Amino acid sequence: MANVFVVLNSGSTSVKFAAYTGDDAESLDLVCRGQLDGIGSQPSFAAKNAKGELVDTQTWGRERILDRDAALKFVITWLQDHGAGLKVVAVGHRVVQGGVTHHRPTLVGEKVLRELEKLIPIVPSHQPYELDAIRTLAKAYPRLPQVAVFDTSFHRTMPEIAQRYALPAAVLGEEIRHWGYHGISYDYISRALPRYSPTARRVVAAHLGGGASMCAMLDGKSVDTSMGFSAIDGLPMATRCGGLDPHILLFLLKSKKYGAAELETILNQKSGLLGLSGISGDMRVLKASKAPAAAAAIDYLVCQIVKFAGAYAAVLGGLDAFVFTAGIGENDAQLRAKVVGRLAWLGASLDQDANVRHGPRISSQDSKISVWVIPTNEELMIARHTAAIVSAVVQ
């Protein structure tokens, strides 16, 4: 019977999952992946095999509304029932915030859960649902090991000065610092890039999707990143604003009479590309639009990417490689061309044909820095960490 490591990414109304089999962390093979959407309303389930072929779908009518507990149990039960000869031996969870205590993935017990629950106010739109999934499975399958893999832990290698804000120490405490997110993605890129460019030490990676950020890496370790205390800082995203002057919020609170809840909605759901364009936060929709505001929103994103790239080249003392990843980074050749064109001052030169083919290398042979398109794989990274920790415990 083959061992299976399950990866879960739990949200407020959905659960994404993947299952990997293998004897150790470095030899894992994807078995299947899928998603259960519409939790609490009209649930729908779909699963695909490793080839991307649809293997099962299910829907539930309004008369049978799945809650989060039932949805999570359904996923585990489905994997056990549909994977002939497979045994679920551990579950790895994406957990956004690990705090100062958890610099690396960890086996989760009650003590760890209590520590992570204290961080919910920092990331209230993610952390509660991720921890709820762990508690649900612990109750239903008390002997099943569960591992938390944190988006913040990769960035704990940043110099202390890069993790600070210029506020009084008494105000900062342990909670307020430059945390950085998308760390699981950058962890994967830091391990994948040496296969393509083994001599690249000074690297800037751009994780460009619905959520977007950038990371400066030296010898595979994070030294700076655009997301800060929260996941709305840095680059403009689909609906999140990115960096802005903090006094704007004070101004809106005092003069425009917005409440905290209204501002939270504006910053997270009505800003970014959507706010700039007034049309959509979806890059595909903006590219198809002839409205000047759509083009202006895209140009704004390009400008911010270039600005962070320049800053991080200064932080690193030069640049050896630039990596595009995630949905927009991996698929939008036009945006990549605009960014690389504006990095010519760093010696970047684009191979137009390679860029249209989506790489992996999209820089020309005479480019002074290599530019890459590398698909990220956060699920595999979580599965590897989970397998490594569980194997260590067994030994």
Note the pLDDT tens digit of each residue in 259-289.
999 999 999 999 999 999 999 999 999 999 9
* Mean pLDDT for the stretch of residues 335-350: 96
Distances (CA, A) of 372 to 206, 345, 346, 360: 10, 18, 15, 5
Residue 295 in any domain: the answer is yes
Residue 1 has pLDDT above 80, yes or no: no
Verify that 140 and 203 share a domain, yes or no. Answer: no
* Res 87: pLDDT: 82
CA distance 364 to 352: 8
Cβ-in-10-Å burial (0-12, 13-18, 19+) of 229 comes to middle
Return the SS3 of 352.
Answer: helix
16 and 144 fall within a common domain? yes
* Vertex 173 angle, CA 170 and 177, to 5°: 120
Q: What is the pLDDT of residue 83?
A: 62
Which pLDDT does position 72 carry in this prediction? 86
Separation between Cα atoms, residue 328 and residue 314, nearest integer Å: 25
Say which amino acid occupies 53: E
Distances (CA, A) of 191 to 35, 195, 320, 381: 27, 8, 16, 10
Q: End-to-end CA distance of the chain, in Å? A: 19
Higher local confidence (pLDDT), 155 or 75: 155
pLDDT at 24 over 80: no
Quick one: pLDDT at residue 348? 97
- The pLDDT of residue 11 is 85
Same domain for 138 and 225, yes or no, is no
Do the beta carbons of residue 203 and residue 321 sit within 8 Å? yes
Average predicted confidence (pLDDT) for the chain = 92
Q: What is the CATH number of the domain that holds 28?
A: 3.30.420.40
pLDDT at res. 298: 97
pLDDT in tens, 143-198: 999 999 999 999 999 999 999 999 999 999 888 999 999 999 999 999 999 999 99
**Average pLDDT over every residue of 210-223:** 97
Please indicate, yes or no, whether residues 239 and 110 belong to a single structural domain of this protein.
no
Percent of the chain with pLDDT over 70: 97
- CA-to-CA distance for 379 and 129, rounded, in angstroms? 18
Is residue 170 one of the residues assigned to a domain?
Answer: no
* pLDDT for the residue 95: 95
| Enclosing domain of residue 35 | 2-150
What confidence category does residue 88 fall into, taking pLDDT thresholds of 50, 70 and 90? confident
- Cα angle: 330, vertex 336, 337; to 5 degrees: 145
Write the DSSP symbol of residue 198.
T
Catalytic residue positions, numbered: 151
How many Å apart are CA 32 and CA 20, to the nearest integer?
7
Residue with more model confidence, 229 or 65: 229
> In terms of DSSP H, where are the helices of the chain?
68-82, 110-117, 127-140, 169-172, 183-196, 246-255, 260-269, 272-277, 283-288, 292-316, 326-331, 333-341, 352-356, 378-394
Q: Do 218 and 367 share a domain, yes or no?
A: yes
Residue 392 pLDDT level (bands cut at 50, 70, 90): low
Q: Within this chain, do residues 279 and 224 fall inside the same structural domain, yes or no?
A: yes
